[in-house]
Amino acid sequence: MVKIDWLILIFYFVVVSVYGYWIYTRKKQKEVSSADFFIAEGTLSWWAIGASLIASNISAEQMTGMSGSGFQLGLAISSYEWMSALTLIIVAVFFMPVYLKNKIFTMPQFLNQRYNSKVAIIMAVFWLLLYIVVNLLSILYLGAVAISGISGLDFTLSVFLLAIFSIFIALGGMKVVGYTSAIQVFFLVISGFIALFISLKMIGGTEGISAGFHILKTEASDHFHMIFKKDNPNYIDLPGLSVLLGGMWIANLNYWGCNQYITQRALGASLPVARKGILFAAFLKMLMPFIIVVPGIAMFYLNSHNMIDASLINSTNAEGVTITESNKAYPALLTLLPSGIKGVTIAAFAATVVASLAAKVNSISTIFTLDIYKKIFNKEASESKLVSIGKITIVISTAIGILLTLGLGDTLMGEGKQGFQYIQEYTGFVSPGIFAMFLLGFFWKKTTSNAALFAMIGGFILSVILKFIPSLIDLQPLYHVGLAVTNSKGLFEIPFLDRMAIVFVLCLIGMYIISIIEYRKGVKPNGLEIDASMFKTSTGFAVGSLIIIGLLMALYTMFW
């Protein structure tokens, strides 16, 4: 980076900081309530909700991790983005009305209201561990890898800078997080298309970007298949039709519909505003593969054809073996941008990482304060006390995230590992049980609390068993029915998306059996207020949804 890039980076963060502080001081005219601080009740517009959803989602694990997966796997990793667009529509139609009708502010609150306090507390602890150990660690690590690789700053310093700035944003509450995210998403999309243009121009040369895309699609054709066949070496990550009919649905519906980190953006709005914001996020989702995955594929082409400095992506480990670091694909691409443009792009990337970190620690703070501190330690806490505890939690959780990143980051996501796939797989240990618990909790009134506990704890145990069973039992018979492939150690392993689908079905069966037995014994579960009219949508929302479905069908037909 040269002087102009540093000046742009500093200017960008000053503008975002001033804007965030202005929003914060506007709401300081009255005493800030816990509802205002944690979910910005009634103050976020639809475009701020949509932008905040994307800024919270598209962070280092997406820009760095998914671009790296594009480098290694190809366009197929885009299923997480394009299927998310359809998932968001389902969440807007069926999930948000239930939350808003029953005045749900946090996911543990839903579990407490639908099941009991035991289920809510256990799940709150689960979520805190997941958010800190998996999400905070991965966002900080991958973000710092990118910033360090681009700017030349020390990795540890990059971790601290990202963490400190995210604390500054998060301490302003959800309203500040939401509105500053809108700026960051705008620049993210613009800078992403600039990076796409530059990478395709390098491939196409004087013939332009359309020629570059044609060359890329022709000469890296193995990177342009959305659905892998069983003999594909990457099948274990994206097992064929499971991305359309199996575990991908569980991963997406759990993430977008049962995740405090995401749903929190819309929980303070009215249903029409929330739906508009979520539909806006769905349209933005359709763009993401073009500014994240395709540049990753372009870097694969440039690296394999020796058109860039090999040291940008390849490294040598302690044993002298050359390793291709897919997580470095996106940072390497940014180093190729011209001065000035590089500064804007890096600023947008860094700001998005900060936005995601701020949103994550805000969610951690919300769950701990409202669902653990208030319910266990201080049931009579005042509004100002809750806000204070929330701010302290933001600082402490960020500090823990820093320590985990510096201590475990390289072990979990270094030496060629795909950061994005790390997040998906380890989140997948709990998502099948959580989604089963929410789904039946929404739509089957006979579901009991013990059934929910089975899904929560039993689902996790089943996931762990299926993950490690290949080292104990030969799963080759499952290969012949398409449920197992060989892993890097030569053992037959069930792909993690298929594991999620299996565990989800087992959780549903177990919950059904437990609930029926208890219901016949006279147990009366807590139902939610639901009626069919809640799920009706406006004409505009229906038209927008049909457009997205049509685009998805066209894309999967084109790149099958």
Domain ranges of the chain: 3-16+44-412, 428-529
The rounded distance, in Å, linking the Cα atoms of 207 and 201 is 8
> Per residue in 139-169, pLDDT tens?
888 788 777 877 778 888 888 888 887 777 6
Q: Is residue 73 predicted with pLDDT exceeding 70? A: yes
Q: Is residue 549 predicted with pLDDT exceeding 60? A: yes
Under 8 Å CB-to-CB from 191, ≥6 apart: which residues?
Answer: 341, 344, 345, 348, 349
Phi first, then psi, for residue 551 (nearest 5°) are -65, -40
The answer to whether domain 3-16+44-412 has CATH 1.20.1730.10 is yes
Tally the C-alpha atoms within 13 A of residue 282's C-alpha that lie toward its C-beta. Answer: 29
The rounded distance, in Å, linking the Cα atoms of 508 and 454 is 10
Calculate mean pLDDT across residues 501-517. 94
Global pTM value? 0.78
User: How much is the mean pLDDT over the chain?
Assistant: 80
In this structure, how many other beta carbons lie within 10 angstroms of the beta carbon of residue 538?
12
3-state secondary structure of 471: helix
Q: Is residue 107 predicted with pLDDT exceeding 70? A: yes
The rounded distance, in Å, linking the Cα atoms of 112 and 344 is 45
> So what's the pLDDT on residue 552?
92
> Per residue in 359-416, pLDDT tens?
788 888 888 888 888 888 887 777 778 888 888 888 888 899 898 888 877 676 655 4
The rounded distance, in Å, linking the Cα atoms of 179 and 23 is 8
> Per residue in 174-230, pLDDT tens?
556 555 666 666 777 777 788 888 888 888 888 888 888 899 888 888 888 888 887
> What separation, in Å, do the N-terminal and C-terminal C-alpha atoms of the chain show?
40
Give the whole-number percent of the chain exceeding pLDDT 70.
83
Calculate mean pLDDT across residues 57-68. 72
Question: Tokens 């090999």, residue?
Answer: 310
DSSP tag of 258: S
Calculate mean pLDDT across residues 49-71. 74
> So what's the pLDDT on residue 543?
94
> So what's the pLDDT on residue 19?
64
> So what's the pLDDT on residue 43?
57
- Cα→Cα distances 35→58, 284, 308, Å: 25, 28, 51
Calculate mean pLDDT across residues 270-295. 88
Separation of CA 105 from chain center: 20
Contact 64, 143 (CB under 8 A): yes
> So what's the pLDDT on residue 277?
87
Separation of CA 478 from chain center: 31
Amino acid at 46: W
Give the whole-number percent of the chain exceeding pLDDT 90.
10
> Per residue in 205-217, pLDDT tens?
888 888 888 998 8
Q: Is residue 318 predicted with pLDDT exceeding 70? A: no
Q: Is residue 103 predicted with pLDDT exceeding 80? A: no
